[in-house]
């Protein structure tokens, strides 16, 4: 039984705690660290059966009984805590992003290589049942060689301007998932990106220095093309769709809905709207990624998503940001760190 510590008990930390309790039988939560031990967090710790509840995450790193940590703290702490945890001999699952600095991400990758522990990054969409179905069919050669990847990703509600200012922007906060998915589905790296963005939903987002609507074209090393469109607001729900076209056919996925019921009457044909919130759609995926992390530790398997994947996705997001700001295609060899 893997003994784990949770560092950070905000929204994503609570998601992982609940996920472990309900669907990761190979792990036991021994400790939880949070800077402010509210009554809600104390209640959560009791429900999880945690022996330790602390305001200092280093108490978790010093505990010799803890095998692994889940880093769910604020983004600007991820890299430093990752390195401290690995130096303490703990296996690490770190929520994305590892950092918004390429140098810091590379430092974490190097530390993981030296330490010999497992280091997994939380790109949860790779573990979603729909995207898994796409990936398995493509890997099995069902559609032949990949020629075009199309991804549509639209949030149900826009973030606050306060969140935007600290997020790194739409490309680093939101599009990064879709960029990772292009690599995951195509099996190819990206050579060049072209991105365009607009402010069409909330002027406050533009005033914060970001865009809320964007479209991207990516040229892959394989010669295939990828198309991504993002919006911070889809009034009908959380819109997550993808299509991959190949030499032998095409495969696509649609939105998850509360039911598949279709009502047909004289007035028309209607179905249910997509699930509203990302946690509704991806909650099982958050659980599955941790289950596979635990499995990798216990059986000494390679982790399914490593630091290099995080680095490449961040590089692509930065290239999209540069492209949108400068109004030109950006080649990935403009970023020397991509060849580290």
pTM as predicted: 0.93
Residues 6+ apart with CB under 8 A from 252: 241, 242, 243, 244
Burial class (CB in 10 A: 0-12, 13-18, 19+), 263: exposed
pLDDT tens track of the chain, all 340 residues? Answer: 999 999 999 989 999 999 999 989 999 999 999 998 888 889 989 989 999 999 999 999 999 999 999 999 999 999 999 999 999 999 999 999 999 999 999 999 999 999 999 999 999 999 999 999 999 999 999 999 999 999 999 999 999 999 999 889 999 999 999 999 999 999 999 999 999 999 999 999 999 999 999 999 999 999 999 999 999 999 999 999 999 999 999 999 999 999 999 999 999 999 999 999 888 889 999 999 999 999 999 999 999 999 999 999 999 999 999 999 999 999 999 987 644 4
DSSP β-ladder status, 239-246 and 249-253: antiparallel
Q: Is the separation of the CB atoms in 95 and 78 below 8 Å?
A: yes
196: tokens are: 């365009």
Alpha helices, H only, the chain: 11-23, 39-48, 58-62, 78-87, 102-115, 129-139, 161-167, 170, 176-186, 203-207, 278-299, 307-326
Task: Give residue-wise pLDDT tens across range 261-290.
Answer: 999 999 999 999 999 988 888 999 999 999
Catalogue all structural domains in the chain, each as residue range(s) with its CATH number.
2-117 (3.40.50.720), 127-280+312-339 (3.30.360.10)
In whole angstroms, give the CA distance from residue 92 to residue 70: 6
Q: Minimal CA–CA distance to 77: which of 104, 53, 52, 51?
A: 104
Integer angstrom CA distances of residue 215 from 20, 116, 149: 36, 39, 13
């Amino acid at each position: 039984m893997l003994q784990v510590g949770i560092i950070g008990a905000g929204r994503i930390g609570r998601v992982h705690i609940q996920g472990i309790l309900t669907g990761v039988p190979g792990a036991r939560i021994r400790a939880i660290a949070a800077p402010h031990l509210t009554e809600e967090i104390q209640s959560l710790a009791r429900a999880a059966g945690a022996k330790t509840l602390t305001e200092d995450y280093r108490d978790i790193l010093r505990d010799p009984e803890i095998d692994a940590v889940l880093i769910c703290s604020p983004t600007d702490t991820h890299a430093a805590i990752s390195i401290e945890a690995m130096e303490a001999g703990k296996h690490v699952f770190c929520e994305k992003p590892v950092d918004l600095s390429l140098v810091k991400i590379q430092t974490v990758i190097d530390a993981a290589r030296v330490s010999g522990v497992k280091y997994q990054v939380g790109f949860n969409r790779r573990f979603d049942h729909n995207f898994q179905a796409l990936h398995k069919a493509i890997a099995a050669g069902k559609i032949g060689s990949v020629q075009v990847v199309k991804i549509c990703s639209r949030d149900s509600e826009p973030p606050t301007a306060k969140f935007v200012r600290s997020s790194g922007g739409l490309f680093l906060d939101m599009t990064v998932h879709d960029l990772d998915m292009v690599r995951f589905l195509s099996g190819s790296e990206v050579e060049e990106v072209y991105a365009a963005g607009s402010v069409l939903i909330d002027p406050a987002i533009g005033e914060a220095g970001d865009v809320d609507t964007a479209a991207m074209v990516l040229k892959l090393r394989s010669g295939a093309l990828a198309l991504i469109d993002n919006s911070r607001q889809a009034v009908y729900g959380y819109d997550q769709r993808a299509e991959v076209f190949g030499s032998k056919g095409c495969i696509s996925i649609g939105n998850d809905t509360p039911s598949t019921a279709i009502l047909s009457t004289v007035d028309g044909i209607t179905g249910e709207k997509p699930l509203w919130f990302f946690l509704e759609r991806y909650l099982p995926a958050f659980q599955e990624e941790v289950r596979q992390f635990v499995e990798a530790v216990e059986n000494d398997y390679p982790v399914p998503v490593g630091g290099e994947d995080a680095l490449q996705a961040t590089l692509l997001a930065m290239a999209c940001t540069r492209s949108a700001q400068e109004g030109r295609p950006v080649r990935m060899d403009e970023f020397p760190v991509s060849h580290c």
